[in-house]
Each structure stands twice: as C-alpha cells, then as structure tokens.
Amino acid sequence: MKILFFDYWLKGIANFNRLMPELRRQCPDAEVKMLHVGSWKEPQEAVVNEHEGFISYDISYYKTWSLYKVLKKERPDVLIMLNIYYLCDKALIVFCKRLGIKTVYLAHGKFSTIADDGLNHFLKQDLKKNFISKIRRDTINTLLNYFLSTWLSHRPIRFVTSMVAMVHDPASMTLNSMYTDELDTDLKLVYYESDKQVLIEKRKFPDKHIYVVGNPELDSFVNTPLIPRLDFLSRIGLSDKPYLLYLDDGYVQARLMDKETWHIHLSEIAEIVKKADMQFVIKLHPRTPLSEHVQFFSKEHIIPFGKEVDFKSLIAHSETVTSFVSTTISFALLLGKRVISPRWGSTSTVGRPYPESVIHYSEDPEDFAEWLVNKKPCNTSGDYVEKNLGLLDGKAIPRIINRILNV
C-alpha cells in the first residue's frame, strides 16, 4: 500500500510523525511519502527531508506547479490531507478522483468557522485594500491548479463562480466553505462529535463517511507527566512570579489580522499584566515566526516560546490563560485553567466558539484586568470537557490508522 501525506508546509509535520509507529505496526510494508508546497510561499532549506519513517518532497522537486502531474507520477493508493476548506483542497480531491486515488481528510484541530459578519467584513476589506499584495506565487499556483481541476472535470464555470464568491464573500471559500462534491473525500476523520455536527449542520456535508476518532494530541497530552513547577520555571528562565499565558491563534499569518493591530492588542494586555505584577508569556502558533515580532516582544516585556517548550507544563503552571479562539484552549480546559478571552477593539468581531459558562469573554480592558487580578472563577461547566473533547482513551491513533487502511 502506498500512502501520500499532503500539507501546505512542513510546520505541521507532527500530525504525520505521530501516526508512523502505529502505521508501521499495522502495515509494516506500507510505502509512505509526503508532498508539500512550502516553496510556493518561501524558499525551502531543503527540497527533500527525512522524517520519522518517511521522506517529504517539496513540489519543486517535481519541477512543476501541477499537483495533478505529481499525483499521476506518484500514484498513491491513499492521499491523506489535513484541510478540507480551500481551493487547493478541492483541486487535490478532484485530481484524486480522476486518478482513482482514495482521499482521507484527517482533522488537525477543532473546527473553526467565521460565524459573525464583522470578521467577514474584515476579510472583504482586506482583500480590497491589499489585492495587489495577494497576487503571490502561492495564489497563482493555487488558482492554476483549481482551474485545471475544473477543466478536467468539464466544469470550468465553477472556476468563474468561485472567483466571484471569493470577492463577494471570502469566508465562503475558506473557513465557511460549504459542501460540494469537490470537497467530498472518501473518509473524513474528525476529533470530536461537535466537529462532525459542524460539518453536517453548518457546512451541509452529507452524514456519511464521517467518523469521530478522538484527538491524538489530547491523548498524548493527558498522559504526559508534568515537570515540577520550580524545576520547569528554572529550565525555561522564568521567575517565580505568576504569569499570564497567551495562546497565539496565528491570526496575523492567516491574514485575519494585520501585525500592527495585533501588536496594539498585545500592548494593551501587556499593560494590564504589568499593573498586576505578573509575567506575560506567549506560546507562539507554529505558523508565527518569532523573528517578525521579537523586537516588539522585547519592548513590551512579553516572553515568547515556540514548540521547544513543554506545552503541558507551560499551561499547568500558568496563573491564567488567554486566547481568541485557539483550539489549544481545549488543553487549558483539560487542566482546569481559567481562560479569559478578549473581545474589545479589533477582537470584538471574533467569534465565540466556547460557551460563556466555560471561559470568560472580556468586553473591555477594565473587565479583563478585574478578572485577571481578582481571579474570578471560570470553567464552571464541569461536564464540558467530557462532552466536547471526545474520547481520551489513548486509542485515537490506532482508530485513525485502522480507518485509513480500510478506506
């Protein structure tokens, strides 16, 4: 059996690495490769990379922009993809159907949707204001592949209607993309029952071939031992003072917020944290490059960490956690942490994916400060974790592999 992983870059490689031991156990003779298109966005240090049991290839290795040509050359039995939203996802699925390749969507977090008009308006305005800057290599290659997919399926009018929709309602082509046969993978593996309902009720996917498998990250997270507090603080260079932990959503890199707006927002929180005599720690999203913000962080006394830090201990030893909508809020809730989510100024239009009985949404900086300093209790819904964070039995990865091998 030949399996091809696909992602847009290598920063999410952990989503595939963690599958390999169980995949080798259940199917020791499987041939496994990965395809990514990282060079569409930025120069790659290496076109070919070795990982934990497989090799990844940037599309430049094949000397083509055409994903169809790559798939035709590789001819995998199964393509495993981490997204089921975008034009490139649609192109891949159409190409695979034409070539007789099975497709599996594997979730890599809790589903996000853009539920409010404010953020949708922001996306429209951003597209108009920065239209020229969005004509980049990755955009052009995505459009070329999507056009090819509509041409091969004898429905080029879909390309036209999609371009019109992209201008008038950008969210409908991204996080709010509705069901179409172009997004109909042979298998859809989601972490939570709530994600299955999002697919069916909000995005209008048929109720078939969608399976709840549990979250392998949470499985691992729950069973990872904590580093003792003082030992942990010493290792990462923090003082014994309490700290507010900000879980970065990656909004700037996802172009849902510009860098200057994000910095203003962080400055407001930094001022609150300073007055509370606490440390301000930020766990960066994998897509957020530290180099773009390091001077700002230094000026505002914000202490950044990336993937090198022990994530469970970082959350567990924090005083309070804050974020917009990051799926990593689930990790904080698992550990019973207080979560305060800002909703003022530039963040007032951000959706509220977690119930107000579970996390607190602050409408202004004064309210945020009051909840932070006075340690008002959040997370009062004791059964939220059990009902919404899926199976935590340590068997998510075996379930995933079993489904893939029997697609």
pLDDT single digits (tens) 377-401: 766 555 777 677 777 888 999 999 9
- The predicted structure's pLDDT at residue 239: 97
Tokens of residue 34, six digits? 């990965």
Q: Do 121 and 191 belong to one domain?
A: yes
pLDDT tier at 270 (50, 70, 90 boundaries)? very high
Residue keyed to tokens 């014994």: 240
Are 109 and 208 found together in one domain?
Answer: yes
CATH of residue 208: 3.40.50.2000
Domain match, 17 and 140 both: yes
Tell me: do 244 and 209 sit in the same domain. no
Question: For 146-188, how does the pLDDT look when each residue is reduced to its tens digit (9 = 90+)?
Answer: 999 999 999 999 999 999 988 888 878 887 899 999 999 999 9
Least confident of 90-104, 119-133, 143-157: 119-133
| Whether residue 302 is found in the same domain as residue 209 | no
Residues 300, 400 within the same domain: no
Domain hosting residue 63, numbered range = 2-215+393-405
Task: Note whether 298 and 368 are same-domain residues.
Answer: yes
Record the pTM. 0.76
Residue with more model confidence, 116 or 150:
150
The verdict on 155 and 47 lying in the same domain is yes
Query: Which is more confident, 403 or 125?
Result: 403
Question: 3-state secondary structure string, the chain?
Answer: CEEEEEECCCCCCHHHHCCHHHHHHHCCCCEEEEEECHHHCCCCCCCEEECCCCEEEEHHHHCCCCHHHHHHHHCCCEEEECCCCCHHHHHHHHHHHHHCCEEEEECCCCCCCCCCHHHHHHHHHHHHHCCHHHCCHHHHHHHHHHHHHHHHCCCCHHHHHHHHHHHHCHHHHCCCCCCCHHHCCCEEEECCHHHHHHHHHHCCCCCCCEEECCCHHHHHHHHCCCCCHHHHHHHHCCCCCCEEEEECCCCCCCCCCCHHHHHHHHHHHHHHHHHCCCEEEEECCCCCCHHHCHHHHHHCCEEEECCCCCHHHHHHCCCEEECCCCCCHHHHHHCCCCEEEECCHHHCCCCCCCCCCCCEEECCHHHHHHHHHHCCCCCCCCCHHHHHCCCCCCCHHHHHHHHHHCC
Contact 72, 99 (CB under 8 A): yes
Same domain, yes or no: 28 and 163: yes
Same domain? For 33 and 157 the reply is yes
Q: Tell whether 326 and 366 lie within a shared domain.
A: yes
Domain count across the chain: 2
Same domain flag for 50 and 101: yes
